[in-house]
Amino acid sequence: MPPSPGWRGADRFQGTASYMQKNQQAKERSRQGSAVIARAIPLAWLATVFLFAAAMLLALAPAWSQAGKFEDLVNALPEGSYSDRAGVVGAIAATGDARALGVLQSLTEGQLFKQKAGGRIVALSASGDPARMIDAITGEDLGPYSKSAVKKIKVNNGLRREIRTAIGVLSLTSADPQARLKAAEAAFASGDPAQLEALDTAMSAESDREVATALAEARAVAILNTDAPVSDKLKAIEVLAMRGDRDAQGILMPLRDDADLSGPVREALEEIEQRQMLWGLAQNVWYGLSLGSVLLLAAIGLAITFGVMGVINMAHGELVMLGAYTTFAVQEAIRTAAPALFDWSLLIAAPLAFVVAGGVGIAIERGVVRHLYGRPLETLLATWGISLMLQQAVRSIFGPNNREVGNPGWMSGAFEIGAMTVTWNRLWILVFALLVFAGLLTLLKRTAMGLQMRAVTQNRPMAAEMGINTGRVDALTFGLGAGIGGLAGVALSQIDNVSPNLGQSYIVDSFMVVVFGGAGNLWGALAGAFTLGVANKFLEPFAGAVLAKILVLVFIILFIQKRPRGLFALRGRAVEA
């Protein structure tokens, strides 16, 4: 029987009511879930922040601990004995703190103190007058230095060695290659086995070849001072043998009698001695070339006046002196008016020295020498008297004491070629001497003045007949030789004392160069200067400086007996006469 319509309506109503009830329950559950989620989101966020903060604290804890350790160690420096302080110094270096280097440098320089009131560790500021105190840990300015308010932290020689070692270890990690190189050299000099770990770490990170070599050598010395296996010590000996200098030789010498190492050590020492002998020869050759360049500059002007004109100019040394004093005057003016131009001082002084010495030379020739041609003894005496007058004039103007002439930056310092040391000032003087020689040679061979000079040298009467003003040529020739002497003074001011007696030290050697090389011949002056310079330096180690000069003089006398015109003879007026 089919359901009645009334029943169907009731059933529909009940279904609708059931649906609405379920929908209401679903909404309620949704609201409850949203509330739970809403409550869970802040909790998750807070948990994340907490975990991140905890991780940061864990990461920063070593640094904070290290910083605290550094401060405690610095504050402990005044306490205990010197050996206790040495341990504290090593611990400060081991922290790797960026402030450690400054603290240790102040300590070794005797500028670290403890305040009597408060006990703070203070250092003297590197700048400022009067000196100021700064907190060694924080860098805080604590006011002017008061001796009564602080107590100095004392160090002895043993502690200073420990401090230098610690500073070296800290410098091994510097960003500056030169600082790392100096630290490696300091580690080599100390040979402290305690630095092995730091040296190994530095070597593993080193990219500079020179620094890496220095680190390997420092490590080799440190290994030889430990109880390392014989195989490691043999490798260290090989490294030092490759270094091959006196320092390596001194380190290996005490090991000659070691039962396990005596054979390799003796072989290494023989290798080093052979290498040192070869480098010693090279060093003597360099010293000889350096001395020869000085003699060339001093003699090349004399070669013109003596060789070309036949005039024995005893005042040539004083013309060299005038060039040196011109350099001094130029540097004094630059120091006063334009200090920034000091590195250019020699380039400014060189032409002025040429003009001053050349002008004095022309005045000497026109006023005295031209009246004495053909009378060599009178010329010698007259120029000797002029030399005394010039010396006294300089004493009256500048005083009798030595004067300071500084080296420009580009002429300061030295560099090494193997085991040979070459100073920049000597090298530049050699280059300058060769440039002057080349310039003078070009003047004589490629210019009209040079042609006239050579014509007067070879045949004065014929040159006069050809219309050459021989008197003018004589004056210019004498002035040229004097001007080159002034250039020699500029160079000599960089390696010798500038005094009124400067020229007297070189006049005899200059005459020996001219006579030995051949009067009037520039190539002879070049060969004579370098030959005598090298000969002097090879004789000095055996005979001494004075006896070496005497032996060279005897050699020249004997040589001239066989070759009166020198190495390179030049036909000229003086020779024909």
Q: Within 13 Å and on the Cβ side, how many CA atoms surround 570?
A: 27
How is residue 265 written in tokens? Answer: 């050590």
Alpha carbons 98 and 101: distance in angstroms, whole number = 7
Alpha carbons 488 and 356: distance in angstroms, whole number = 13
Output the pLDDT for position 192: 80
The residues that bridge with 132 in the sheet, in sequence order, are 144
Give tens-digit pLDDT for 15-64.
Answer: 444 444 545 554 555 555 444 444 444 544 444 444 444 444 333 334 33
Alpha carbons 185 and 211: distance in angstroms, whole number = 9
Nearest by Cα to 296 from 131, 94, 143, 516: 516
Nearest by Cα to 146 from 115, 120, 118: 115
The residues that bridge with 114 in the sheet, in sequence order, are 121, 151
Output the pLDDT for position 95: 75
Please report which helix (H) or strand (E) contains residue 182, including its range. Answer: helix 177-190
Nearest by Cα to 311 from 377, 389, 388: 377
How far is CA 567 from each of CA 365, 481, 506, 527, rounded to the nearest angstrom?
A: 28, 21, 21, 8
Output the pLDDT for position 129: 64
Alpha carbons 517 and 296: distance in angstroms, whole number = 11
How is residue 302 written in tokens? Answer: 């004399």
DSSP state of 120: -
Kindly report the length of the chain.
Answer: 577
Q: What is the mean pLDDT of each run of 10 residues along the chain (577 residues)?
A: 41 42 52 47 45 40 49 84 82 76 82 84 74 82 82 84 76 80 84 82 86 90 89 90 87 85 88 87 89 87 76 87 93 90 91 94 90 83 91 91 87 84 90 92 88 81 86 88 91 87 83 81 86 86 78 83 73 46
Give every CB contact of residue 544 below 8 A, 6+ residues apart in sequence. none
Look at the block and give the residue holding tokens 């190492």: 261
Alpha carbons 223 and 140: distance in angstroms, whole number = 42
Give tens-digit pLDDT for 456-487.
Answer: 877 778 888 888 888 888 888 889 989 999 99
CB 174 within 8 A of CB 180: yes
- Cβ atoms < 10 Å from Cβ of 360: 21
Look at the block and give the residue holding tokens 């040391």: 421
**pTM across the whole model:** 0.66
How is residue 213 written in tokens? Answer: 């070599």
